[in-house]
Structure 1
């Protein structure tokens, strides 16, 4: 994740366009009453500042009278279980990312706001949802005029043309349905799902933090007139060309130590307030993985989901992992609460340290680094305490084979370092 950084219900075609994540999760299908959070599939939208809608789906389940919501994006099912219904309203607290949906039940279904609590302000978006709807962009699609399966060399450009991001798109198309993601040097855009309808491509995702919509025109081996909507107000332009050889720079080459430096040092409190330093006995003569993370960062979430079981597998082989948390607020109590939620969600048994720094100050906190490009960043240290590799970003399970390749390469490196005397 970078640092920084038409409507249609009941038969009308719905034209979506990006927004920020969230979804009011409940509403009724035309003309009938919705009795709270009904079990089954829902379709929801978030509305951007420009009026564009970002669609997503979720599933409500009921086990022994306890509701749970599963956000659906391609192959991912993201569980949400902190749900409170009172009378004709519902409050849905989305895990990890300090955001929530506050909505009311209406004769049309459900409507309300998705609210994202940032460090110094709240940002909210209009939300609506309908029960019993399993389509994402339209109840039926036009016959696809192209197939986007494969790799694409993509360029994202800010409206003023000053900010450009190079990415690799990897998609799989089955009939009109499309799944896939974009990979960048700072991480991936996680699980995207959508369709090709006629000559138009639509993709979206919502995971409690990301609310993304991608649109574009497909013709032969190009995608043009692309728009990328992110959250309430961000809109970038993008284009892509099909390229089976498209690839990004090696993630181990992007972040380096300053000339002459071989080690890093740190000393921060853990969640119990105990100071933990790089030279602590628990790290002596061990292979150490230092994870730079934030509870606000979805790519960090993916990496944590991998590192938690990795640590349980490797801790008795001479490997330690430590997470350095850079939260969006310098309020210790608020930061601790967010990191504790991450710890519980992924059953993390390695120490998590509260750095007290915000993401923009990561480099200040670690002066041995020559630069700091993205969260997560992972430093691999050998038994002598020397930095051997630094990995920038994380390609999560939504990237398919790239995730598998990372795991194989990472664990080979760790095993090789374990064998060193």
Structure 2
């Protein structure tokens, strides 16, 4: 046993010595064409990597999808590899530096025992998404598309979807709207009669779309790959009048209920209730959310600065976070990371797990929690006046602008009462 311990100690020493010898590698700054190798093929996205001034081995990194520059957490070089984390999603890109090329993998921790991964590569200076610009497509797919997704089991998605696309040359950008949220920023190309789009946000949205357009029927048929193993087929028909169900009709108070009861702990252990004095006589917005949820991230990115600007008017916001674990030791740090990333001033409580049935039990005044996020508007008397299911983020363009306008109009109305 002593000999085994001695040998192990020597191996550890040699490993540490090897890692610490020499100077760490450096990453060439600039924009990279990155790809994840999925079951559907290459999922491309952009990375902008820039060194942090006066901090050797540290880099600022943005993921590039359409018009979005999504800031990742600070990246560091360790030995011959760069580590690009996204703590909110418990994920990271780890790649060996080889000149202007990065090769490695994307990793995401799903549970304490489950770690998902996909091969990753990135090359500096390559500007196209799926195909070089000179390979322009023939079809023009700009417009609204009524869409159905179908899983491997053959079950058609009960949630209606609308594809909202804008094509310039061969480049295609847009998203899919659903009653529970949107697919955020999609970016890609049209090549002949084929569509290719993708998105990468570091964790939850690793999306790859491939499809063919039939000009005779004005329909698109294809496949949708999500994350490591998700797959759905989908079909879309051009429909400029496509609409979703009213987001105010999906979540509502049970008959006889007028208020919302909620009392849950903050990560610091302090219990906050809607009955507390800080909410009395104020217009209160309750945000049903989760740190794991990209659409919640988009909504928080709107609500956090909005609250700073408007809290003096007599409004409050309360976040109810439903996480993968009900244990504060596990989920509390995730809530704190989200509060820090988005500079949230309002309280965010751990309300339970993100299982929708359990979330519904945690808020028994509601018919159900059907989407993360869901936003509840409460008037000065403490009565629920409006519930909005889902969130159309900035990737939806005019739909996001419409939501912001309606949000402000409703709050102004409640404040004036």
TM-score greater than 0.5 by the shorter chain: yes
After superposition, residues 94-109 of structure 1 pair within 5 angstroms as 94-106=86-98, 109=101
What SS does structure 2 have at the residue aligned with 1:254? coil
Distance 2:100 2:271 in 1: 54
Q: 1:52 aligns with which of 37, 41, 44?
A: 41
Q: Hey, what does 2:4 align to over in structure 1?
A: none
**Structure (1/2) with the larger helix percentage:** 2
Q: Hey, what does 1:215 align to over in structure 2?
A: 210
Q: Does 1:167 align with 2:156?
A: no
After superposition, residues 192-271 of structure 1 pair within 5 angstroms as 192-209=186-203, 210-220=205-215, 222-271=218-267
- Report the CA distance between 1:82 and its aligned residue: 2.1
What SS does structure 2 have at the residue aligned with 1:257? coil
What SS does structure 1 have at the residue aligned with 2:353? coil
Distance 1:402 1:396 in 2: 8
After superposition, residues 119-198 of structure 1 pair within 5 angstroms as 119-120=111-112, 121-164=114-157, 165-198=159-192
1:163-204 CA-partner distances (Å, limit 9, x unpaired) = 424210111111111111100001000001001111111110
8 Å Cα contact 1:47/1:232 also seen in 2: no
Aligned residues: 386
What SS does structure 2 have at the residue aligned with 1:326? strand
Q: Hey, what does 1:343 align to over in structure 2?
A: 339
1:59-92 CA-partner distances (Å, limit 9, x unpaired) = 1112414411110001100112421212212221
- CA root-mean-square deviation: 1.7
Distance 2:94 2:52 in 1: 23
Q: Hey, what does 2:390 align to over in structure 1?
A: 393
Q: Hey, what does 2:11 align to over in structure 1?
A: none
What SS does structure 2 have at the residue aligned with 1:96? helix
User: Kindly tell me: are residues 55 and 321 of structure 1, through their superposed partners in 2, closer, same or farther at Cα, counting changes over 3 Å?
Assistant: same
Distance 1:63 1:84 in 2: 10
Q: Does 1:305 align with 2:301?
A: yes
Distance 1:307 1:107 in 2: 42
Moved >4 Å (runs of 4+): none
Q: 1:61 aligns with which of 35, 50, 53?
A: 50
Q: 1:283 aligns with which of 271, 274, 279?
A: 279
Q: Hey, what does 1:272 align to over in structure 2?
A: 268
Larger radius of gyration: 2
What SS does structure 2 have at the residue aligned with 1:371? coil
Q: Which is further off, 353-362 or 336-345?
A: 353-362
8 Å Cα contact 1:332/1:356 also seen in 2: no
Q: Hey, what does 2:72 align to over in structure 1?
A: 80
Q: Does 1:39 align with 2:33?
A: no
What SS does structure 2 have at the residue aligned with 1:279? coil
Q: Which is further off, 182-191 or 136-145?
A: 136-145
Distance 1:410 1:131 in 2: 42
- Report the CA distance between 1:101 and its aligned residue: 1.6
Q: TM-score, normalised by structure 2?
A: 0.89
Distance 1:369 1:178 in 2: 40
Distance 1:35 1:173 in 2: 40
Q: Which is further off, 51-60 or 290-299?
A: 51-60
8 Å Cα contact 1:154/1:169 also seen in 2: yes
1:106-150 CA-partner distances (Å, limit 9, x unpaired) = 479332221111234221111111122121112245332211111
Distance 1:270 1:314 in 2: 23
What SS does structure 1 have at the residue aligned with 2:88? coil
What SS does structure 2 have at the residue aligned with 1:248? coil
Q: Hey, what does 1:369 align to over in structure 2?
A: 366
Q: Which has the higher contact order (CA 8 A, sep 6+)?
A: 1
Q: 1:316 aligns with which of 312, 315, 318?
A: 312
User: Kindly tell me: are residues 269 and 357 of structure 1, through their superposed partners in 2, closer, same or farther at Cα, counting changes over 3 Å?
Assistant: same
- Report the CA distance between 1:96 and its aligned residue: 1.8
What SS does structure 2 have at the residue aligned with 1:130? strand
- Report the CA distance between 1:94 and its aligned residue: 1.4
Distance 1:202 1:266 in 2: 44
